[in-house]
Structure 1
Amino acid sequence: MAGAAASPGATSTPLDADAVRRARLRAHRLLRPDLPGLPAVVGHLLAVQGQEFFPALWGAVRRVAPGARPDAAASVAAFDAGAVLRTHVLRPTWHLVRPDDARWLLELTAARVLRTTASTERGHGIADPARCLDAVTDLVAAGPLTRAEVKDGLVARGLLAPDATGFEVGQVLMTAELHRAVISGPLRGRQHTYAAFDDRVPPGYGPLGERFDRDAALVELWRGYLRGRAWATVRDAAQWSGLTLTELRRGLGLLREAAPGAVVDAPGTGALEGLTLHGLAEVVGAGPDGVPGAAPDDGGPGVDLLQGYDELFVGYGPSRLVVRDPVAGEEPLAPRPALLHVLAVDGLVAGRWRWTAGPRRLDVATAWARPASPAEEAALAARAAEAAAWWGLELRVE
């Protein structure tokens, strides 16, 4: 593909935080969920941050059309079957990806992740985890293994000390993931397993074809990123992908060349003053009220119980402030150990929540960061009941 940056797209109406937030709710399929299943959601978003596994599944199926939503057991079954995979990619954290996207996304981003993790390993006094790569590959060749089983195999081969920490074992396995030696296998009870990469990922590079081309991969990254996230800046894309601003600007230019008119640009206004936002024309076309990417209200508060790492929150950098509720406080995404996840109203962070799944009951604890209206309380109760139904458990709200 040609390397010169193409001319910017047409400039759209200036966008304030409210218009961008509404466009994102629509693009994320949170406003009107209509996707046909879990793999479709993951493919639509390209990659879904997934270290909190069950909350990540729950947040994904929230985007599935109501009549087609799988419950927790069916979601896990799809994962176990390999319809959705989990691996370290983009940044030093787990993401859910489709099998067809795993190989090219790792080829595009793994080298930068490995450079990032190398400094962490040195800081913890860990020798090069890649020394275990061949052994890990051999160990999973016979079938998926849990982390403890991989550790036992490495200890038996003299590659790890018996008292190796969980962090050290995790670094070894993350390195093996980034080198495309292993990827997620089926759950064994509640334990994750690691399987041979080529047993779970088809050959080739998915949408790129049989060969990897970095320019083509950058174009596909931008298409997938903007498809599921509406308006975003280059710095947003850098925060999400882990790639450099230089390479991402190049990729955006290549997308403009490959599909003239596909990318539109808009200046931010208000809280977004000084930012230039980009969107796919097919995603952020003018809504019913004439505002680009706008969508009308659905007649009531849209209360969401989303994982703290939902792509609506972590899929952006400088412009993620659009989810800030001015009444709830200035730092709505500050971590709270007891209540990790985000209670949102119409896309604005309005509080925190957590769940605890027992044998027969789902306990849901919530904390509003501002006074809630009776309609919002009722909508929250309905969403909590929906979460319990997803688990197939009775509900208790704390």
Structure 2
Amino acid sequence: MPAPQARPAAITPRVMGRLRLASQGLLNGGLAAVPDVVRWMTAMQAQDLGSALWAVGQRVPGSAASDVRAALDSGTIVRSWPIRGTLHLLAPEDLRWILRITSPRLMNMVAGRHRELGITAEDISHCRDIALKTLESLKTADGGRGATREQLFDAFEEAGQITKAQRGIHLLGSLCQRAWLVQGPMAGSRGKVGVQQLFVPFDEWIKDSRDLDREEGIAELLFRYIRSHGPATVKDFAWWSQVPLTEARKALASVQDRLVELPFGDTSYWLSAETAALLDDGVPGSRALLALPGFDEFLLGYQDRSLVLAPEHAELVVPGRNGVFKRIIVAGGEVVGTWARTGNGKAPGVVPEPFEGQLGPAAERSFQAQGLAYLKFMAG
């Protein structure tokens, strides 16, 4: 059955950007709880934990950073390397089936680096046994257990497995890719909230996992990506998920009757019927201003970011194209600048860095309100 098409009248890049804001839960009140947002987004970039906390916070009004940490502590959300070899937040029941889709290709991509580091399949199995034995020895009276990365590295070294020159992190990543270990509760540091997590046995931390075969799983992943990121292209999905484009196109054919096609320029974009319905009465958010974190899915989650970020401003967000995304200001669906945190722990503040000129009075007031919300969220 052919996919329904949205009416293309009055579509502009800014309208496309606002549709993405709506899909991602960044307009109209967001979602009610931390696990709901993470499950809706399917996978949220979380290499930088502080940025990931605020990315969730922007989508859960009234929440605090401690709520996201509590969700990690309880296992209602998890943080792992499901796609692109990068840390993401996702629902625990989704991790195993996504890994089954993405891990083989990732492990092939790092095979050369593993040869350079002298990592063999036997080394990975050996480290699995060491890690599980170490975790068993650290088990507490109430059944909880976990080890820091440093504790596991010490155990690897003691057993003759070198961890220097990134060998240790590749070994640890391989154990997570194979669903033997997963990052669990936050690791405190001398009574303070830390930024690291303890590693725990996968099957003990995640007791219920969905079971999808590859074809079914790719179709599910594509549908959920479009639902939460649309309008987006099949190439955006293939980049985001690292699923080969041939398989992505096959998956699209199987789910397109549940999506809406939106022609724009010479490209077909896809979005959910619910998001497409916003076109009927005018897409909201034309005056919305958001202070989003670096690495937010609104910008990072697409191969082609030119719809919302003018190419001439791209290096102002990712200086030197070094892969490190600065915090962004989004106005009316378009990235119009970056922003920074200022001061110290006792007197924090925020400052806008617009691409051109200065923010107008109304936009400046909106930005300062966003900044206060950010500071309150991070302190909570």
Superposed pair shares fold, TM > 0.5: yes
- Looking at structure 1, the residues matched to 52 and 342 of structure 2 have their Cα atoms a distance apart, in angstroms, of 15
Matched, 1:264 2:249: no
Note the residue ranges of structure 1 that are not aligned, 5 or more in a row. 1-6, 206-210, 394-398
Q: Does the Cα contact within 8 Å between 2:219 and 2:251 map onto a contact in 1?
A: yes
Partner of 1:194: 199
Distance 1:386 1:20, change over 3 A: same
Distance 1:380 1:253, change over 3 A: same
Matched, 1:116 2:109: yes
Whichever residue aligns with residue 56 of structure 1, its letter is A
After TM superposition, the structure 1 = structure 2 runs for residues 286-325 of structure 1, keeping only pairs within 5 Å, are 286-289=278-281, 294-297=282-285, 300=287, 302-318=288-304, 320-325=305-310
Partner of 1:368: 354
Aligned-residue offset at 1:170:
1.6
Aligned-residue offset at 1:339:
7.8
Q: Does the Cα contact within 8 Å between 1:332 and 1:349 map onto a contact in 2?
A: no
The SS at the match of 1:186 is: strand
Partner of 2:319: 335
The SS at the match of 1:223 is: helix
The SS at the match of 2:18 is: helix
The SS at the match of 2:162 is: coil
Partner of 1:379: 366
Distance 1:213 1:306, change over 3 A: same
Q: Does the Cα contact within 8 Å between 1:233 and 1:278 map onto a contact in 2?
A: yes
Partner of 2:270: 278
Q: Does the Cα contact within 8 Å between 1:108 and 1:217 map onto a contact in 2?
A: yes
Partner of 1:3: none
Distance 1:192 1:321, change over 3 A: same
- Looking at structure 1, the residues matched to 108 and 18 of structure 2 have their Cα atoms a distance apart, in angstroms, of 37
Whichever residue aligns with residue 240 of structure 1, its letter is W
- Looking at structure 2, the residues matched to 139 and 262 of structure 1 have their Cα atoms a distance apart, in angstroms, of 47
Whichever residue aligns with residue 183 of structure 2, its letter is S
The SS at the match of 1:352 is: strand
Matched, 1:106 2:99: yes
Partner of 1:134: 129
Cα deviations by residue, 1:266-310 (Å, 9 ceiling, x for unpaired) = 2212xxxx2111222233224343xxxx51346x4x222222211
- Looking at structure 1, the residues matched to 179 and 160 of structure 2 have their Cα atoms a distance apart, in angstroms, of 23
- Looking at structure 2, the residues matched to 49 and 55 of structure 1 have their Cα atoms a distance apart, in angstroms, of 9
Matched, 1:11 2:5: yes
Whichever residue aligns with residue 269 of structure 2, its letter is L
Cα deviations by residue, 1:107-138 (Å, 9 ceiling, x for unpaired) = 1211112122223444x545246252332233
Instruction: From 154, 157, 161, give the equivalent of 1:152.
Output: 154
The SS at the match of 2:329 is: strand
Aligned-residue offset at 1:220:
1.2
Aligned-residue offset at 1:168:
2.2
- Looking at structure 2, the residues matched to 34 and 92 of structure 1 have their Cα atoms a distance apart, in angstroms, of 28
The SS at the match of 1:144 is: coil
Aligned-residue offset at 1:356:
6.7
Whichever residue aligns with residue 134 of structure 1, its letter is D
Aligned-residue offset at 1:344:
2.1
Matched, 1:38 2:34: yes
Aligned-residue offset at 1:367:
2.0
CA RMSD, Structure 1 to Structure 2 (Å): 2.4
Distance 1:355 1:194, change over 3 A: farther
Matched, 1:79 2:50: no
The SS at the match of 1:322 is: coil
Q: Does the Cα contact within 8 Å between 2:14 and 2:334 map onto a contact in 1?
A: no
- Looking at structure 2, the residues matched to 355 and 170 of structure 1 have their Cα atoms a distance apart, in angstroms, of 30
- Looking at structure 2, the residues matched to 359 and 330 of structure 1 have their Cα atoms a distance apart, in angstroms, of 30
Partner of 1:181: 180
The SS at the match of 2:119 is: coil
Whichever residue aligns with residue 168 of structure 1, its letter is R
Whichever residue aligns with residue 312 of structure 1, its letter is F
- Looking at structure 2, the residues matched to 339 and 266 of structure 1 have their Cα atoms a distance apart, in angstroms, of 28
The SS at the match of 2:3 is: coil
Q: Does the Cα contact within 8 Å between 1:339 and 1:352 map onto a contact in 2?
A: no
Note the residue ranges of structure 2 that are not aligned, 5 or more in a row. 140-144, 189-193
Partner of 2:234: 234
- Looking at structure 2, the residues matched to 340 and 264 of structure 1 have their Cα atoms a distance apart, in angstroms, of 32
- Looking at structure 2, the residues matched to 215 and 330 of structure 1 have their Cα atoms a distance apart, in angstroms, of 35
TM-score for the superposition, normalised by structure 1: 0.83
Whichever residue aligns with residue 6 of structure 2, its letter is S
The SS at the match of 2:290 is: strand
Partner of 1:212: 212
